[in-house]
């Protein structure tokens, strides 16, 4: 059976360092730590979990959960991220969609996804050579009706079961939840950062309490506490579900006022354990 050897949560963008040089340097250093840790785990497959910024899915096509289904992806080139191509794994994505359907999850199979910066920037960070086949799991938190925290955590459990029961023996998989943390974007309150919420959420993940958080909070609760952009942490809950009950280690947290975002990364404990294999 396959194995999830690494699990991370990470913000999915950086902006100009002008005026926030020390924070930007700390964030870049943290992201390079994620790169090194991913490389050390020698993954056979990467699963990037995050949202689309209304470039593939929009208000005319309100899809909360989807899989990019392709053996090759070409990125959009937005947000200052260069256009690149990287390998996918159609068979993995189609197999996960079928497996999830048996577990009562309808994952839309998107045949012509063009990954925007939300996927392309993290891919560049963790796999700059574009060497590792990558599966794109979309949790579109910007939709008017996003998936609930509980459902996202449960999807992670299904994802782990798929890797461990269906995928080839000895396949090494890393899952990475992308986006967040708190930010208000183009709504009243833009510019706020809910630092206390961010730190509490990171502590919840570090101490293995994500399931309780997911059961006890609605998407509306998250929006109220962490802004509409804070819903991106739903992708982190999918990862937490995939390593259910595990704690983790914070890599960095920086509330960058100029970027109107609480920036963070965490490594869950299975990644640490995987290094000993």
pLDDT tens-digit series, residues 190-234: 889 999 999 999 999 999 999 999 999 999 999 999 999 999 999
Q: 30 in helix, strand or coil?
A: helix
CA nearest 221: which of 160, 131, 118, 149?
Answer: 149
The pLDDT score that the predictor gives to residue 277 is 34
Q: 208 in helix, strand or coil?
A: coil
The pLDDT score that the predictor gives to residue 276 is 34
Rounded to two decimals, the pTM is 0.95
The pLDDT score that the predictor gives to residue 268 is 96
Q: Six-digit token pair at 103?
A: 């577990």
Q: Which residue has the tokens 């794109």?
A: 136
Query: Please, what are the averages of pLDDT over each run of 10 residues along the chain (277 residues)?
Result: 95 95 98 98 98 89 94 94 96 98 96 94 97 97 89 98 95 97 86 95 96 96 94 97 94 96 93 41
The pLDDT score that the predictor gives to residue 61 is 85
Q: Six-digit token pair at 31?
A: 């992201």
pLDDT tens-digit series, residues 197-207: 999 999 999 99
Please state which of the four CATH numbers 3.40.830.10, 3.40.30.10, 3.40.50.1820, 3.30.450.20 is assigned to the domain occupying 3-274: 3.40.830.10
| Domain extents in the chain | 3-274
> Would you list the DSSP string of 107-159?
-EEETT----HHHHHHHHHH-TT--S-EEEEEE-TTSSSPPPHHHHHHHHHHH
Q: How far is CA 166 from CA 94, 99, 132, 163, in A?
A: 12, 9, 19, 6
Q: Six-digit token pair at 51?
A: 């949202």
């Amino acid at each position: 059976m396959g194995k999830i050897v690494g699990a991370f949560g990470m913000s999915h963008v950086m902006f100009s360092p002008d005026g926030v040089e020390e924070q930007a340097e700390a964030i870049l250093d943290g992201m390079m730590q994620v790169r090194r840790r991913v490389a050390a785990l020698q993954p056979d497959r990467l699963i990037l979990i995050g949202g689309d910024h209304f470039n593939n899915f929009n208000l005319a096509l309100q899809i909360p959960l989807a899989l990019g289904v392709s053996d090759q992806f070409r990125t959009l080139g937005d947000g200052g991220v260069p256009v690149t191509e990287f390998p996918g794994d159609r068979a993995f994505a189609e197999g996960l969609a079928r497996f999830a359907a048996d577990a009562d999850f309808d994952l839309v199979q998107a045949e012509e996804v063009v990954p925007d910066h939300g996927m392309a920037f993290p891919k560049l960070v963790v796999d700059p050579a574009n060497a590792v086949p990558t599966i794109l799991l979309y949790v579109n938190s910007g939709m008017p009706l996003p998936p609930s925290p509980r459902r996202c955590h449960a999807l992670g459990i299904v994802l782990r079961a798929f890797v461990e029961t269906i995928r080839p023996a000895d396949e090494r998989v890393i899952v990475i939840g992308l986006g967040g943390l708190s930010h208000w974007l183009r709504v009243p309150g833009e510019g706020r950062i809910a630092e206390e919420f961010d730190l509490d959420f990171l502590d919840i993940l570090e101490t293995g309490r994500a399931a309780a958080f997911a059961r006890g909070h609605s998407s509306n609760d998250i929006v109220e506490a962490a802004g509409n952009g804070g819903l991106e942490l739903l992708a982190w809950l999918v990862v937490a579900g995939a390593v259910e009950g595990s704690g983790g280690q914070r890599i960095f947290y920086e509330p960058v006022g100029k970027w109107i975002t609480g920036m963070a990364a965490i490594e869950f404990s299975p990644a640490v354990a995987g290094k000993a294999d």
